[in-house]
Amino acid sequence: MDLRPYLTKLETLKELQRIEGADWDLEIGTLTELYDEKQGKALLFDRIKDYPAGYRVATNLMATPRRLAITLGFPPDIRHIDLVRSIRDKFNSLKPVQPVTVSSGPVLENVFKDGEVDLLKFPAPKWHELDGGRYIGTADMVIMREPKGNWVNVGTYRVQLHDRTTLGLYISPGHQGRLIREMYWAEGKPCPVAVVFGAHPLVWTPSFLAFPWGTEEYTLCGGLLGEPLQLVTGEYTGLPIPAYAEIAVEGDCPPPGVESRPEGPFGEWPGYYGSGERTEPVIRVKRVLHRNDPVLCGSPPMKPPCSGNASFVMRAGNIWHELERLGIPGIKGVWNMRAGGSRFLNVIAIEQKYAGHAKQVAMAAMSGQEGAYHGRFVIVVDDDIDCTNDEDVLWAMATRCDPATSIEIIHNCWSTPLDPTLPPEKRAKGDFSNSRAIVLAVRPFHWRKDFPKVNRASDALRETTLKKWGHLFA
């Protein structure tokens, strides 16, 4: 549950690049983007301009399927579909492990209260050229407790650095953290909030995935780690904070009528500035906790196919898990095309079992907690198609999808202000809904046996030929 041995492991495997002397103003963000485009190494920045040595920023920690596999304990060179299948299996068999509260931990090595609080001591980057400021929270864990119970929710939301004691907190409509925050506001109370800005990727991962209301992300962390997550209790909020976190803050998020500030714009994961500067809620920070030589983790949204954390693979595994949990048979693979970010182009391979099976799968995939938010296309293909191969999927769409009968449009689905296609009039009304396309790129079920055969050498013939002529491909 400690980030630092993980960084050492990446370096041992030649998966980490150290960079000294970069500027927090755009250089860190641009280098992160350039490395992600080439599926390059994870980055650890030190001696950042204007900051002392030891105040570091780590990016691209899980930006490639290879590093995601390393993080999850799978073989580094595992095939993409096998990686998604292994993630599905992990979710299917995951046994939640209750966290334990400890009296101390590395995150308490430095504690600053009230007038001592200074958020500017951390090298929060300005990630993109048109951003409205510096964003300290991109690979963060925003921690809240439901006001009427003991459920603690942990989510990843964007956090802007305003000044020494104030952060901006943007949460898109419909997300659990926003709903919890509004419960406090409905009672005229500020919402207690803690935010972690650096953690082991396995501790962070459940916070950026979608799980049903009431799911304890900390118990899923324990399941992924194979041991109870150690937590310390925040002195100001009483919220549980990972004991091995690199940086954490505690504070209050007052109702917008009490205090709000201009937030954004910010380059988001669809690859656009989905909205301009707007007034958004803030966190009044009352405590800052951090380790010696803290590491600020960053996962800035970027124009696809860059993703920053291979979330397209994790979400594919979670959608597969959701489909099987519903009891839908015949699921052979799930993938999110990297060019569509982590949500826009969902592909599902199935072995058709009955008429309507393909459509059932598509409807279910866009209705689960993971697949419902801000999608665009759900593409269903036969099981002879490698759903992780974009060219294979496009071939299936080109040859097995009849546009007049195989594409359906579903209206009024859950979207977000970040949707670049939202018309201004809908945006002005707060109507953050969109449409989805279901694309059935499968052989028509009722005459699938009469569908023309594929003119590709069989796997057996290819293997036999390669045994004889393999030297030609050395």
Give pLDDT tens digits for 90-144.
Answer: 999 999 999 999 999 999 999 999 899 999 999 999 999 999 999 999 999 999 9
- The token pair at 215 is 């799911």
> Per residue in 30-40, pLDDT tens?
999 999 999 99
Q: Which superfamily does 95-292 belong to?
A: Electron Transport, Fmn-binding Protein; Chain A (2.30.110.10)
Q: Looking at residue 307, what is its pLDDT?
A: 80
* pLDDT tens figures, 124-135: 999 999 999 999
Q: What is the pLDDT of residues 199-256, one digit of tens each?
A: 999 999 999 988 989 999 999 999 999 999 999 999 999 999 999 999 999 999 999 9
Burial 379-404 (b: 16+ CB within 10 A, else e): bbbbeebbbbebebbeebbeebbeee
CATH 3.40.1670.10 is right for the domain spanning 311-450: yes
Average pLDDT, the chain: 95
- Rounded CA-CA distance 474/469 in Å is 10
Residue corresponding to tokens 């036999």: 464
Summarised one tens digit per residue, pLDDT across range 275-298 is: 889 999 999 999 999 999 999 999
Structure confidence by residue, pLDDT tens digits, 384-430: 999 999 999 999 999 999 999 999 999 999 998 888 888 999 988 99
Residue 235's contacts (CB-CB under 8 Å, 6 or more residues apart) are 111, 250, 287
Provide the pLDDT confidence category of residue 369 given band limits of 50, 70 and 90: confident
Question: Domain-by-domain residue ranges, the chain?
Answer: 95-292, 311-450
Question: Measured between alpha carbons, how far is 348 from 90 in angstroms, rounded to an integer?
Answer: 19
